[in-house]
Structure 1
Amino acid sequence: MHLLLIEDDLDLGADLQKALKAYGLSSEWVRSLGQAQALCEAAGDEPLPYACAVLDLGLPDGEGLSLLRGWRRTGVALPVIVLTARDALEMRIAGLDAGADDYVIKPVQVAELASRVQAVTRRAAGQSSSTWNVGPLTIDMGRREVRTCDGPVPLSPREFAIVAELARHGGDVVPKHRLARALAPLGEPLEFSALEWHIHNLRRKLGEDSIHTMRGVGYRIAGLQP
């Protein structure tokens, strides 16, 4: 899962980015409001390529809440966790009223932050626990395991990442280029030929109807309706 980390503190940002990797969470780290806004503008009309944003409030060039309010005003539904040292009740209320999905006070243990990321992303996907039921599939996000009625299915890390990314989009078609980027967020996007090969293997392991193709566009997981 790929996050957007908006944090101006050099030591904290570097430590968080490194520690979150142990929980399967990669991240793109920016240190200012301007950098975060530039990423939004670069995405154009497409959804931001992140599962969740972790947002500091006190940024060197502005307030994090102004970014959050702008996102919500323009319909950006990206889950957002505010991570801040501001613990006053009125600030917590302001953050949640602005559209934050969670409000976490610094300092926080990385295990707790990772758990909160998992919680807001599963709620965004319409799931109530870390075990997702998607048609005939049971996806255990914590154990990174997929089961069918016949039991656990051995998947490679990349195959699991494809299933999880498709499930996270709630039955919507995920364009090939977005899926390719999500599978290699910090490097060159996966080539389409490699992506198609992984999809072929997944259908062989999970069933031919487990992943549907929208020709010329992308893929969606079976069992969920957008």
Structure 2
Amino acid sequence: MRVLVVEDEPELAEKLARALAARGFAADVAHDGERADFLGRSEPYDAVVLDLGLPRLDGLSLLRGWRGDGIAVPVLILTARGRWSDKQAGFTAGADDYLVKPFELGEAVLRVQALVRRSRGHASPEIACGALRLDTHRGEVTVDGEPVALTAQEYRLVSYLAHEAPRIVSRSELLDHVYERGLDPDSNVVDALIVRVRRKIGAARIETVRGRGFRMRAADA
């Protein structure tokens, strides 16, 4: 899962990105509204954390532009503006959630996790695909109740396929959602990652659909 953090305070932006990465997200950062607008229109993010007081293009104008052009990515607003009128303006512009500064990093991560989960139609923080369980709060995967040790990229792959199950996901889509911006892996990297993950969770859990991509089996065969 990929998240865009839009925050003009470099220290806070870095802390948010690290906190999200620790819970299995690939996090990109933008420090001004124009850069964020470009990234939001050119990259398929699973969620955006958006500050309102941005240079070059303010957060509300940015969000209104996205929604007006049909960009439906879930957005969590972060701002020091805590009045009801400010919250109302944020939700009216198209925000999905709102968090007032100062805040706990853990709460911001939990809210992003919930936005991503609900956008895929999952009510519970635990996603089950047969005997495989993905705990989105803890960033953990178990099979038959036993924890599976995964690298960050392996976890992001399992997480994305589990969130999308049983939909078929193409190699190019996995490249977009599993790897950070700036990396330029080819499709062979995805295949190698799939092989490593299959060894850890069981080969039959990830199905190859010839000519189309991969999907996580929603139930054990």
Q: TM-score category by the smaller chain?
A: 0.7 to 0.9
Match of 1:212 in 2: 207
Match of 1:154 in 2: 148
- Secondary structure of the 1:62 match is coil
CA distance in 2, matches of 1:199, 1:152: 20
The answer to whether structure 1 residue 68 and structure 2 residue 67 are counterparts is no
Match of 1:177 in 2: 172
Say which structure, 1 or 2, has more relative contact order (CA 8 Å, 6+ apart). Answer: 2
Counting only pairs closer than 5 Å after superposition, residues 111-190 of structure 1 correspond to structure 2 as 111-148=106-143, 150-152=144-146, 154-157=148-151, 158-190=153-185
TM-score under structure 2 normalisation?
A: 0.83
The answer to whether structure 1 residue 29 and structure 2 residue 29 are counterparts is yes
CA distance in 1, matches of 2:40, 2:113: 23
Give the direction of change, closer, same or farther, for the CA distance of 1:216–1:15 in structure 2 (3 Å limit).
same
The answer to whether structure 1 residue 97 and structure 2 residue 101 are counterparts is no
Deviation at 1:167, TM superposition (A): 2.1
Deviation at 1:174, TM superposition (A): 2.6
The C-alpha deviation readout for 1:87-109, integer Å capped at 9, x for no partner, is 11011112122221110101111
Q: Percent identity?
A: 38
Match of 1:4 in 2: 4
The C-alpha deviation readout for 1:28-47, integer Å capped at 9, x for no partner, is 11122211222244x2xxxx
Deviation at 1:146, TM superposition (A): 2.9
Deviation at 1:64, TM superposition (A): 1.2
Q: Aligned residue pairs: how many?
A: 218
Deviation at 1:170, TM superposition (A): 4.9
The C-alpha deviation readout for 1:167-215, integer Å capped at 9, x for no partner, is 2335433321331343331552444334213323444554554223343
**Contact in 2 for aligned 1:52/1:78 (Cα 8 Å):** yes
Segments of 5+ residues of structure 1 without an aligned counterpart are: none
Give the direction of change, closer, same or farther, for the CA distance of 1:146–1:15 in structure 2 (3 Å limit).
closer
The C-alpha deviation readout for 1:130-152, integer Å capped at 9, x for no partner, is 2112344321223433334x332
**Contact in 2 for aligned 1:136/1:223 (Cα 8 Å):** no
**Contact in 2 for aligned 1:153/1:206 (Cα 8 Å):** no
- Secondary structure of the 2:27 match is strand
Deviation at 1:153, TM superposition (A): 5.5
Question: In angstroms, what is the RMSD of aligned CA positions?
Answer: 2.6
CA distance in 1, matches of 2:5, 2:94: 17
Give the direction of change, closer, same or farther, for the CA distance of 1:130–1:59 in structure 2 (3 Å limit).
same
Structure 1 window deviating more from structure 2 (183-192 vs 112-121): it is 183-192
- Secondary structure of the 2:208 match is strand
Match of 1:39 in 2: 39
Deviation at 1:8, TM superposition (A): 1.7
TM-score under structure 1 normalisation?
A: 0.81
Give the direction of change, closer, same or farther, for the CA distance of 1:128–1:6 in structure 2 (3 Å limit).
same
Give the direction of change, closer, same or farther, for the CA distance of 1:21–1:138 in structure 2 (3 Å limit).
closer
User: 1:93 corresponds to which letter in structure 2?
Assistant: Q
CA distance in 1, matches of 2:193, 2:147: 15
Match of 1:16 in 2: 16
